[in-house]
Chains A and B, each alone.
Chain A
């Protein structure tokens, strides 16, 4: 009996073993099906993430898209999965102030599954610089104003330009407009369309944030003392801060970008203290000149500002800004100067905005 039972038991074990193998293979089949679905989704997510990371690289380096075409794919590792990304710049040159359209192709692989995502983006830079509203704009009500000598403020577009005529001076309230008109009554040196205008939308609040941001950026130049250096070029306009006495001592023909003359908010501003910019000689600055919490501008030569001048104060400043336009200073509104200012800010801030135009998902 013992031998027969042993044979039977052995047969039972063999039979159960076959059954177990069969059940295991079916369970594995169901599990594989679930895993494959997860891997497909993982691959698609990795492709989308690769595009986002690629755009971040493109944001940091304007040549990134141009150097990573189909023949030189960028291959990031996304959460352990491999991805291949390449860019097709189909419009624009991807420059700082350039609106470009870029098609980003990403293929990601997870397990044995691939997913391809193609997204089309329009890239443009943030315009931190406010739109010019006048040759000289007063984004504060705490100012005094006088104008004399051979100085000129002209809001009319330069001849031959594509600019629109703007007011010579813009203020925030009718009361301030009346005041400025009273100070410049009969002067032929103030011109514009009109000469003085109230702009209730005028505000210094976004500009102070811009200045605070620009001040801390690498590449911003601080000018003090006797200065003979460069002031930017047409292709590479700069951002310049004057927070102490500074004098352009000659030899500087033209400057481009944004020039900020400011009094430190912690300092008590008085006429002879604070920031003073002495523009001697025939310096021409093309762009935006901002006077923050201060106006100390000594134009003994024939300095010219092609663009716009903005005077304003920060929220924590309660003093009066005494604006005296004298000497041979010329403030000529120019929309080209606005572009220099925007380019200068874009070069410094290097932050672009991307609008997704369309996306193709091939699962």
Chain B
């Protein structure tokens, strides 16, 4: 066989192997990126829901609600808001709770049910169980804007709250394994925000 052909095949084979390795690596990265993007979308969904509600704390049609935050703990908050902007001036009670029961439909043992409950009077208007892989839903409260010292929870005087800091961590339902032999890891996405609900600020 011609030496030139043999050399070409060897070089070509090495290049092909390199490309295949790179392709595999990129494929893994793409999968991880896709999972991250998926988690990002999930965390955005939760963030949108939280932002929708928290921005309206204390809102009512004809004026602010006095002392709208009824209870405030590190994993649960209950507040009043005319969440649907109803002109009848009826304010709903909104509860966000991070539960202690793990989501059974996933293999991830760290995710729990995050519940959003809206009640008007004694009627439940809406109850949403969020099972998008929430592994952390942490609430911190501050009595002055810009304070670096959070109030101790559960907050004894919720009427003093001026800012609410929230940290949400979501993990993928299943582990991502880079190689078949690796232990794998859950893809994590975090959202962190400090709210200054406009209707609980001093004018």
Q: In the complex, A23→B5 CA distance in Å?
A: 35
Q: Of B7, B16, B58, B203, which contacts A1 at CB under 8 A? A: B7
Q: Could you tell me if A363 and B55 are in contact, using CB atoms closer than 8 angstroms? A: yes
Q: Of A8, A22, A120, A361, which contacts B62 at CB under 8 A? A: A120
Q: Of A8, A120, A361, which contacts B56 at CB under 8 A? A: A361
Q: Could you tell me if B8 and A1 are in contact, using CB atoms closer than 8 angstroms? A: yes
Looking across the interface, which residue of chain A has its beta carbon closest to that of B14? A8
Asked if A359 is at the interface (CB within 8 A of a chain B CB), the reply is: yes
Q: Could you tell me if B22 and A1 are in contact, using CB atoms closer than 8 angstroms? A: no
Q: Of B12, B30, B37, B51, which contacts A22 at CB under 8 A? A: B30
Q: If A1-B8, A4-B5, A33-B40 touch, does A15 touch B55 (CB 8 Å cutoff)?
A: no
Q: Could you tell me if B56 and A360 are in contact, using CB atoms closer than 8 angstroms? A: yes
Q: If A12-B19, A19-B26, A22-B30 touch, does A360 touch B8 (CB 8 Å cutoff)?
A: no
Inside 8 A of A360's CB, which chain B residues have their CB?
56, 59, 82, 85
Asked if B199 is at the interface (CB within 8 A of a chain A CB), the reply is: yes
Q: Of A19, A26, A356, which contacts B203 at CB under 8 A? A: A356
Q: What is the interface residue range for chain A against chain B?
A: 20 to 34
Chain B's nearest CB lies how many Å from the CB of A42?
15
Chain B's nearest CB lies how many Å from the CB of A323?
44
Task: Provide the B140-162 mask, 1 if CB < 8 A to any CB of A, else 0.
Answer: 00000000000000000000000
Q: If A4-B8, A360-B85, A363-B51 touch, does A15 touch B203 (CB 8 Å cutoff)?
A: no
Q: Could you tell me if A15 and B19 are in contact, using CB atoms closer than 8 angstroms? A: yes
Q: Of A15, A33, A358, which contacts B60 at CB under 8 A? A: A358
- For chain A, residues 340 to 363, give those with C-beta under 8 angstroms from any C-beta of chain B: 355-363
Asked if B177 is at the interface (CB within 8 A of a chain A CB), the reply is: no
Q: If A15-B23, A19-B22 touch, does A357 touch B55 (CB 8 Å cutoff)?
A: no
- For chain B, residues 1 to 55, give those with C-beta under 8 angstroms from any C-beta of chain A: 4-5, 7-9, 11-12, 15-16, 19, 22-23, 26, 30, 33, 37, 40, 44, 48, 51-52, 55
Q: Of A1, A19, A22, A355, which contacts B4 at CB under 8 A? A: A1
Q: Of B11, B51, B52, which contacts A5 at CB under 8 A? A: B11
Asked if A118 is at the interface (CB within 8 A of a chain B CB), the reply is: yes
Q: Could you tell me if B26 and A358 are in contact, using CB atoms closer than 8 angstroms? A: no
- For chain B, residues 66 to 87, give those with C-beta under 8 angstroms from any C-beta of chain A: 82, 85
Q: In the complex, A26→B60 CA distance in Å?
A: 42
Q: Could you tell me if B63 and A8 are in contact, using CB atoms closer than 8 angstroms? A: no
| 15 A-B residue pairings within 8 Å (CB atoms) | A1-B7, A4-B8, A8-B15, A15-B23, A33-B40, A120-B62, A357-B62, A357-B64, A358-B60, A358-B61, A358-B63, A360-B59, A361-B56, A361-B198, A363-B52
- B: residues with CB less than 8 A from A are 4-5, 7-9, 11-12, 15-16, 19, 22-23, 26, 30, 33, 37, 40, 44, 48, 51-52, 55-56, 58-64, 82, 85, 198-199, 203
- A: residues with CB less than 8 A from B are 1, 4-5, 8, 11-12, 15, 19, 22-23, 26, 29-30, 33, 118, 120, 355-363
